[in-house]
Amino acid sequence: AHTTCVVWATGPGPLFQLKRLDMTLTDHGFQRTQLLKNLASVVQMASDVWSLTVTEDNNQVPGGDTTYWCKVVRLDERLSRKHHIVKFEPVITQGNEPLVHHMELFHCEGPADKEFPLYRGPCDSEDRPEDIKVCKKVLAAWAMGATPFYFPQEAGLPVGGEGYNLYAMLEVHYNNPELREDWIDSSGLRVYVSPTLRQHDAGVIELGLEYIDKMAIPPGQPHFPLSGYCISECTGVSIPPEGITVFGSQLHTHLTGIRVMTRHIRDGRELPELNRDNHYSTHFQEIRLLKRAVKVLPGDALITTCLYNTTGRPNITLGGFAITDEMCVNYIYYYPKTSLEVCKSAISDQSLQTYFRQVHEWERQPTSPHMGISDNYRAIDWNPVRASVLHELYLQSPIYMQCNQSSGERYPGDWTSVPVTPVLYPLPPSPRICD
């Protein structure tokens, strides 16, 4: 069920051996795919399904290497009646496939009569209105390489209805390493909705690491792991007693991610993994319909681990939004919908500041309490021993939790310095079947 890279070629036969085959003389190509795909991933849609498309409008993309561009829109008035999203797909401007890294469509939470400014511009601009900070509930998401996503027959993502605010925000991540200033883009997302409601309202939860610089990967590492936790205390206050059923998963890192997995823990015992890709590629980030739906109960923990290869990088790689920064995320699709939107973590502030102080006092590294986190990380002269110590620090330190509702508010509790959920009985390695 992992990503497979297929190299193909056609030409006059017969072909007796592959040795010394010159593929430049043939019609050839390269394709990433999931060979053992869930064949039930395409679902027949009802006749009353209609689509709405939200795209940029001939946007002049800035010349920086990373741009997050936001556009607020008012949705179709037909959504004053509740619908279910049953499918979504990308709309990419022809020729801009290398530019558009990922896109998300967010609902703006608020009273039905509240009007949001129709902002269009950089998501991090000082001119961005404060009001649209509530536009953060995911309606649809796409990343490079993904194909159209169909919800299973029994569930759809709820949109519209009485008291529903009709404003949404499209966010597009542009990756422009050549710093070109001549990109014009009208990419976006097309969402298919049905007034015929399915059995369950679906939802999306973000698992993994916060998008901040507290977690980092030293240079020269062939497979450095980082883990983000959705601890049992968070699921205990947010998931209903009957649990939720996870049916889809989208793994996400940036350029140095090579493997991603999400482990499932219940009462200290590890259950079968929720999802794993041992050959992950940032260029192939499709949402995958799981072959086996996973039941998550209150008190369960989900641990998302990403492995990174930084052997070609001269200095530390920090967590963040830029394509040269890193992320570790699993967007899980589930039903029935709850208010839990984000369940992610990072090392606690106190543990990190203690580490910077100790590496200064014991190893004479030029870190300082007067410097920011990023500057402290960059000040360290990284070697294999220091990289190993940092790895152990991440494993043993308490964490800061984001246990957030779709409104952006945290669930009640102290999430500032909490222990990770212990794994007392790990899952044994799967036997290799290669007779």
Q: Which of 28, 68, 360, 391 is catalytic?
A: 68
Tally of CB atoms within 10 A around 427: 14
Among the options 83, 173, 200, 252, which is catalytic? 252
CA distances from 29 to 8, 9, 24 (A): 5, 6, 10
304, 404, 288, 186 alpha-carbon torsion, rounded to 10°: -120
Is residue 68 annotated as part of the catalytic site, yes or no?
A: yes
**Token representation of residue 22:** 């010159």
Residue 326 DSSP SS3: strand
Secondary structure (3-state) at 354: helix
Q: DSSP 3-state assignment of 390? A: helix
Q: In what order do the strands lie in the sheet with 66-74?
A: 120-122, 66-74, 167-175, 100-108, 135-143
Contacts of 405 (CB under 8 A, 6+ apart): 238, 339, 340, 341, 411
Bridge partner residues of 90 (DSSP)? 189
Q: For residues 90 and 277, what is the distance between their CA atoms, to the nearest angstrom?
A: 23
Q: Which amino acid is at 267?
A: D
Q: Which residues are catalytic?
A: 68, 252
